[in-house]
A and B are shown apart, each in its own frame.
Chain A
Amino acid sequence: MSNVTGPGRRMSRRRLLQLGLLSATAPPMLLHSRRAAAQIGGAQPAPVPAPAGELKNPVEFKGPKVKASSPTTLSFWQYVGFHVEVQKFIAEEYKRRHDPNVSLEITAYPGLNEQRVGVKSALAAQSPTPDIIAIEPGAYAVDVSASGSVRDFTRVFAEDPEYKRGFWPNALELLTINGAVVSVPAVTNTVIVYYNRGLFRQHGLEVPDTLDDLKKIGAALNAKGTIPIAYPAGQDRNFPLFPYYTYAGGTRADKLMREADLGLKPWTSPELVAGAEFVEMMAKSGLYAKGPLGVKEPDAIQIFATGRSAMFWGGQWMRRSIRAALPPSFDLGLFPFPAVVAGGHKPVLSSVGITLTVNARSKHPDLAFEMIKALTGAWGKIEYTKNLGLSPNGPIGADAIAYQMQSLKDPLYPEFLKLQPTGTTRVIFTPAVEEAMTQGMQALITGQKTPKAVMESVEAASQKVGTRKFRAG
Chain B
Amino acid sequence: MGRDGNAPALTLHGIVKTYGPVRANDGVDLDVRWGEVHALLGENGAGKSTLMNVVYGLTRPDAGEIVFDGRRVTINGPTDAIRLGIGMVHQHFMLIPPLTVAENVILGHETARSGLLDLSEARAEVGDLARRHGLEVDPEARAQDLSVGLQQRVEILKALYRGARLLILDEPTSVLTPQEAERLFEVIRGLTAQGTAVIFITHKLGEVMAVADRITVMRRGQVVADTTPVESGPPDLARLMVGRPVLLRVDKKPARPGAVLLRLEGLRVDDDRHQTAVDGVDLEVRAGEIVGVAGVEGNGQEELVEAIVGLRSPRLGRVVLGAQDVTRLGTRRTLHAGVSFIPADRHRMGAILELAVADNLVLSDYDRAPFARGILRRFQAVWEYALRAIKAFDIRTEGPGQPLGSLSGGNQQKLVVARELSTDPRVLIASQPTRGVDVGSIEFIHRQIVARRDAGLAVLLVSSELDEVLSLADRVAVIYRGRIVAVLEGDAVERERIGLMMAGAA
Q: Do A and B bind each other?
A: no
